[in-house]
Amino acid sequence: MQYTHLGRTGLKVSRLALGTMSFGELTDEATSFAIMDEALDAGINFFDTADVYGGPQSPDMEKGFGISEEIIGRWLAQGGRRDRIVLATKVYQPMDTGPNDKYLSAYHIRRACEASLKRLQTDHIDLYQMHHVDRATPWEEIWQAMEQLIREGKITYVGSSNFAGWDIATAQCTAASRNLLGLASEQSLYNLTQRTIELEVIPALRHFGVGLIPWSPIGMGLLGGVLRKIADGRRATPHLQQQIDRRRPQLEAYEALCDELGEAPSDVALAWLLHNPVVTAAISGPRIVEQLRQNLKALSLRLSDETLAKLDEIWPGPGGEAPKAYAW
């Protein structure tokens, strides 16, 4: 396993993070346990979850959120595991129907953290991530709440997710005024088909020394050899089929390139992310153990400059970083 620092911190995490969004919804508990055992045996020490994972991510629907954390908690309760992993979870999403059961008020952050600790059956969270930006809550309030949790030993590092570049800059400047480390990491949508963050988010992360943890590295299955799978009889969801129809020429070129390389499309997609020095770890969100084993192969895959150039031709980005991407 390869390890690197989480952003500018001294914490070492594996280049692949285990995503657990499917636990409790698409993956049963026994299989979830097997995936976590396999990940730990493979050297993955970075486990990512969220308070809403495990079912419909809305309290207006049938109760299901929190299940992923509960499954991880029962796995940790078996003993001998907690100090071997860097445990990350998130706060922001609605956890009930009350007006203060969501977002990033100090009130909700405190209560959500306590609830996550209980579900996870642990006394501390290593990386506590804001699942989305809350521009209605002042940064002074957010950092006060996070600082309190750090003092109490309930969290160690703070991360963000789905932040814009200017949100990252604002968060870091406010943290610096309070003599805080600020953000250790940002979790963003980033893959070959979704490269918008190259404009401003990635430059901001590099400037502030914040690690990038891409979510959906396989593009919700689009970059996992989807054409081949459909040809073999696999059915696509209506949303995925719509994406396939829109991007078919690119997908055909991409899968043909992967065939030339003799590599699985999912491995190429992951390896492309890991070539970026700002990327700390890519999230692997397997539903079965075999998917995790496949993703591990991406760690040893090195893409040549020629291959990287071909990938840029197939999946062009925004043209570079702002403002040069759109101005002289």
Q: Does residue 324 fall inside a structural domain?
A: no
- 78's CB contacts (< 8 A; 6+ apart) are none
Handedness of CA 193, 199, 201, 204 (dihedral sign): positive
Q: What are phi and psi of 144, to 5 degrees?
A: -60, -40
CA angle 302/306/321 to nearest 5° reads: 90
Positions marked catalytic? 53
Residue 72's pLDDT is 98
pTM of the predicted structure, to 2 decimals: 0.94
Query: Lowest-confidence range among 117-121, 210-214, 239-243?
Result: 239-243
Q: Does residue 234 fall inside a structural domain?
A: no
In this prediction, residue 311 has a pLDDT band, given cuts at 50, 70 and 90, of very high
Residue 97 vs residue 56, higher pLDDT: 97
Read off the pLDDT of residues 273-303 as tens digits, 9 standing for 90 and up.
999 999 999 999 999 999 999 999 999 999 9
Q: Does residue 257 fall inside a structural domain?
A: no
Q: Is the pLDDT of residue 59 over 70?
A: no
Q: Does residue 247 fall inside a structural domain?
A: no
* Alpha carbons 280 and 295: distance in angstroms, whole number: 16
The DSSP 8-state label assigned to residue 158 in this structure reads: E
- The CATH number of the domain where 152 resides is what? 3.20.20.100
Q: Does the bond joining 94 to the residue before it have cis omega, within 30 degrees of 0?
A: no
Share of the chain above pLDDT 90, in %: 89
> Is there a contact between 180 and 143 (Cβ–Cβ < 8 Å)?
yes
Q: Does residue 40 fall inside a structural domain?
A: yes
* Alpha carbons 311 and 299: distance in angstroms, whole number: 18
Q: Does residue 34 fall inside a structural domain?
A: yes
Share of the chain above pLDDT 70, in %: 97
In single-letter form, the type of residue at position 279 comes to: V
Q: Is the pLDDT of residue 57 over 80?
A: no
* Structural domain count of the chain: 1
Read off the pLDDT of residues 174-217 as tens digits, 9 standing for 90 and up.
999 999 999 999 999 999 999 999 999 999 999 999 999 999 99
Residue 60's pLDDT is 56
* Alpha carbons 278 and 313: distance in angstroms, whole number: 22
* Alpha carbons 233 and 130: distance in angstroms, whole number: 39
Q: Does residue 14 fall inside a structural domain?
A: yes
> Is there a contact between 192 and 272 (Cβ–Cβ < 8 Å)?
yes
Average pLDDT, the chain: 95
* Alpha carbons 325 and 308: distance in angstroms, whole number: 19
Per-residue pLDDT averaged across 22-27, rounded? 92
Residue 315's pLDDT is 97
Residue 16's pLDDT is 97
The DSSP 8-state label assigned to residue 285 in this structure reads: -
Q: Does residue 244 fall inside a structural domain?
A: no
Residue 232's pLDDT is 85
Range(s) of the domain holding residue 299 = 3-224+263-307
CA atoms within 13 A on the CB side of 230: 19
Q: Is the pLDDT of residue 307 over 80?
A: yes
In this prediction, residue 63 has a pLDDT band, given cuts at 50, 70 and 90, of low
